[in-house]
Amino acid sequence: MNKDNFTTISSKERVKVVNDLLQKEGNDLRKVADTLKIKYSTFTKLMQENDYVYIKRLGQYCKFVQDDSLIVEDPTSDSDEVAYIKENFAILQSLIESRKGNYDFTLDKRIYHSSSKTVTKNFRISDDIYKLFAKTCDEEFPHLKLQDIIAQLLLTFTDQYANQNNI
């Protein structure tokens, strides 16, 4: 790598190159500067850009962060999740488009209330109705548990009809 290339690449790439050279040159900064044909003072100044510092015990340059809350993941590097989204963007977009206009079924916060005790109840229902209900839940709301959907339906019914008997 020549001097012009070295000075124009990003500081992150520069650190990668220098850290590789440091391993080859026995962690000697002056030898690395000589290898790159750059004056030592210019080399060290360039390497300090964007808060990189040389850690002698590690024998390499590292990012210096004064406050942990300032640590930000590099937005240019893709995490596994972002890479997956990019690879499957068309499929995800078609799924979202197919759901537009469908009834938005949301669960009430009371269903997840932590102080509520859960109980198990049995009830009789026509097999055909239950199969139709279970199929609809699987197809339209696969992300929800059947017990949570039933709890929401019971709450909706109660909210709608509880006050009618008091009239």
For the entire predicted model, the pTM comes to 0.40
- Which neighbouring-strand residues pair with 55? 60
* Structural domain ending residue among the three candidates 14, 36, 65: 65
Is pLDDT at 73 greater than 70 in this prediction? Answer: no
Is pLDDT at 71 greater than 70 in this prediction? Answer: no
The parent domain of residue 29 ranges over 3-65
Q: Is the pLDDT higher at 103 or at 65? A: 65
The total number of structural domains that make up the chain: 2
* Residue 91 within any structural domain of the chain: no
* Structural domain ending residue among the three candidates 39, 65, 91: 65
* Residue 37 within any structural domain of the chain: yes
- Contact 134/141 with Cβ under 8 angstroms? no
